Amino acid sequence: MIQDLHSHTYYSFCGKDAPEAVAEAAIAGGIDLLGFTDHNYGIGFQRVEMFYMDPKNFEGQDYGRCLRRYFDHINLIKEKYAGRINILRGIEICTLEGRNLSLPENCDISFYDYCIIENLDCKDSITGGDLFTYAKKLGCYCGVAHTDLFAHAERIGVDPLDYFKRMADENIFWEMNVSYDSIHNYRQHQYVLDFFQSPEKQDIVRKSGVKVSVGFDGHRVEDYLPKRVAEYCNALTEIGIPMPFENDFN
Ligand SMILES: [Zn+2]
Ligand SMILES: [Zn+2]
């Protein structure tokens, strides 16, 4: 199955296109399963000006309703394209401390199909590097976005195999971020290149039973490379590593 579980639309401040344009680019590129994952703060604040306001001016009001409206919109997109592509209603959760970036404490995202957690390995992450406690609190099917988890496990002094096993046990997947776009200066993720060049690392991940996703992390459709996404999905299948949602759609 060719899946892309990481994409952005005009709901993200850094995104550009309507969800329809993103869905149509994915259909044209032969993607079977597409997940929308706009940034929580883009969805929650809707307007850049709101995002930069002093938090005291709005106290996070309406944030939860914005999360719901985004979900409802993506749900309409899912229905509109049913039969042509499978669509998932996801969200990318920023965990950086600092004004307005992370998800407000009282916000519910448990109704989303999944979320991807970012900045886990940053020193100002509100997770404090503790993926498991944070994921449990979110109450949603979780993945870890664009993070070198081998390096992270080492940093916190845990054997990578044990770390991935625990992720598998707690039903958390790991993203291979294969973005290659103008927004990120055509930068590739070193941890992804390392992983696909290292049979040892692949072995550890395979043994652990953790699922691995592929995400292009697209921000504008003119940069989208669905062939690249397909190549990485096929590579995972070839080395016997399962992807999330693989058995849910046929
Ligand atoms: Zn991200
Ligand atoms: Zn992203």
Q: How far is ligand 2, taken at its centre, from the CA of residue 14, in Å?
A: 9
Say which amino acid occupies 186. Y
Q: How far is ligand 1, taken at its centre, from the CA of residue 216, in Å?
A: 11
**Nearest ligand (C-alpha, residue 146):** 1
Ion ligand 1: residues, CB within 5 A, are 118
SS3 per residue for 28-97: HCCCCEEEEEEEHHHHHHCCHHHHCCCHHHCCCCCHHHHHHHHHHHHHHHHHHCCCCCEEEEEEEEECEC
Q: Write the CATH number of the domain with boundaries 3-238.
A: 3.20.20.140
- Per-residue tens of pLDDT for the chain, all 250 residues: 999 999 999 999 999 999 999 999 999 999 999 999 999 999 999 988 888 888 777 666 789 999 999 999 999 999 999 999 999 999 999 999 987 899 998 899 999 999 999 999 999 999 999 999 999 999 999 999 999 999 999 999 999 999 999 999 999 999 999 999 998 899 999 999 999 999 999 999 999 999 999 999 999 999 999 999 999 999 999 999 999 999 898 6
Query: Length of the chain, please?
Result: 250
**Nearest ligand (C-alpha, residue 216):** 2
**Nearest ligand (C-alpha, residue 145):** 1
| Confidence (pTM) | 0.96
